[in-house]
Amino acid sequence: MKLNDPSALQDLWPKDWTMRFIALVLAVVVWYFVGGEDKVDKNVMIPVEVINLPRDLVIANQYKREIEVSVSGPRSQVLSLAERGVRRQIDLSHATAGTMVIANDNDSIPVPRGVTVLRVQPATIILSLDNLVQKFFGIKSMTRGSLAPDYVLKSIRMDPDVISITGPQAVLSRITEIKTKTIDLSGLHQAIQIQIPLDISPEIIDLIGETSVTADINIALETIEKKLPPLPVELVVDGKHQRVSPATATLTVELPKSFMHSKPDLQKLFQILANPAREDGQAELKVVARPELTVPFTVIKIEPASVFVIQEQPLLDALPIPDAGTKTVPGPVPTSTIKPASKQNK
């Protein structure tokens, strides 16, 4: 047999040796990466993942989102646990409201082949499950400080004035209203809008986060009501003054308190005008401020609210001069005449 004969070489190399050689190479590779690699013991942090939580339930307590797991195995595999996405999954598909204690045994950590779980801390996870509810809460504004002199706080309107919170029933049942952080009103003398955070507990922050609302603060001058003595009612039609009944009306107005400190003559600052008469002969009254009044005012009441327009009677045509023997009956409008009796009737 010649060594350079190809057929002879094929006879020396059995057909199943090819498979044996491949298996040997694979065994060497596996040994190098697994058996031949240094083994290490290491503590790693594994995330906790809750799955299949029913839609009508919520986890009402704080629990560890990571657990400490002691593992042993080849260095490369231990170091790659985080990259492999190893998690401690808790399946709550059959959970009900109440307290659940979940054991963290070694088999609950899905580590790759070749890695061994030695210990898990904590040994258990406690979950408090509560019914998920939605509630609406009014927002109450909290203030401090005093406004500028002669100014008063008319109102504080919150936008929104009601918020909706969805969360555990046990948590939301303890809350009746939501308050704002304190709003400082010191020295304010005009209306403003500001963003103000809500003063909420950490458990509510976990549900809705840090939340702010808009406070619309309405500030105005302090006012007092004054009732004026009767003022004449004026009605002018086509440049001519018309008579009305009653001829005067009483006016009640609201004026800044600071303006009244100077004791102004209010009768000289207002006039009451009558609108053109309606078909029923009445005319509505309105108030007009004279140019001397430079502060804002509010009309509270006009008494009466309307007056009657007096229609002027036209003058009668001149009457004919009666006969000398005719006597007329006195009166604004002649209605009859009386003749003297004849001599025969005397």
Which residues touch 232 (CB under 8 Å, ≥6 apart)?
A: 247, 248, 272
Q: Using alpha carbons only, what angle is made at residue 124 by residues 118 and 130, rounded to the nearest 5 degrees?
A: 150
Number of H helices, E strands in the chain: 6, 24
Q: Using one digit for the tens of pLDDT, what is the confidence trace for 73-91?
A: 888 888 888 788 889 999 9
**Other beta carbons within 10 Å of 293:** 17
Q: What pLDDT is recorded for position 337? A: 35
Mean pLDDT calculated for residue range 134-138: 94
Is residue 178's pLDDT more than 90?
A: yes
Contacts of 236 (CB under 8 A, 6+ apart): 242
Scanning the structure block, which residue is given the tokens 């804002």?
Answer: 296
pLDDT at 22 over 70: yes
The CA–CA distances, whole Å, from 338 to 316, 317, 332, 334 equal 21, 21, 17, 11
Indicate the SS3 state at residue 179.
strand
Domains annotated for the chain, with CATH where assigned, are 35-122 (2.170.120), 132-221 (2.170.120.40), 224-309 (2.170.120.30)
271: how many CB neighbours lie within 10 A of its CB?
Answer: 16
pTM for the structure as a whole: 0.55
Alpha helices in the chain (DSSP H): 6-12, 17-30, 75-79, 169-172, 202-208, 257-260
Query: Given pLDDT bands bounded at 50, 70 and 90, which one contains residue 31?
Result: low
The angle formed by the CA atoms of residues 48, 52 and 55, to the nearest 5 degrees, is 120
Q: Which long-range contacts (CB under 8 A, 24 or more apart) does 285-290 make?
A: 285/233, 285/249, 287/251, 287/253
pLDDT tens for 307-326 read: 999 876 554 444 555 554 54
The SS3 of residue 85 is coil
Q: Which of 112-116, 123-127, 198-202 has the lowest average pLDDT?
A: 112-116
Distance of CA 332 to the CA centre of its chain: 74
Q: Where are the alpha helices (DSSP H) in 188-346?
A: 202-208, 257-260
The C-alpha atoms of residue 46 and residue 108 are separated, in whole angstroms, by 11
Indicate the pairing of strand 66-74 with strand 116-121: antiparallel
pLDDT digits (tens, 9 = 90+) for 227-247: 999 999 999 888 888 999 999
Give 152's contacts (C-beta < 8 A, 6+ positions apart): 219, 220, 221, 222
Model confidence pLDDT, tens digit, residues 34-45: 554 578 888 999
What's CA 37's distance to the chain center, in Å? 63
Of 47, 109, 41, 45, which is closest to residue 75 (Cα–Cα)?
41
Question: Do 129 and 57 contact (CB within 8 A), yes or no?
Answer: yes
pLDDT tens-digit map of 201-211: 998 998 899 99
CA dist., res. 150 & res. 343, Å (int):
93
Looking up tokens 């509630």 gives 135
Q: How confident is the model at residue 328 (pLDDT cuts 50, 70, 90)?
A: very low
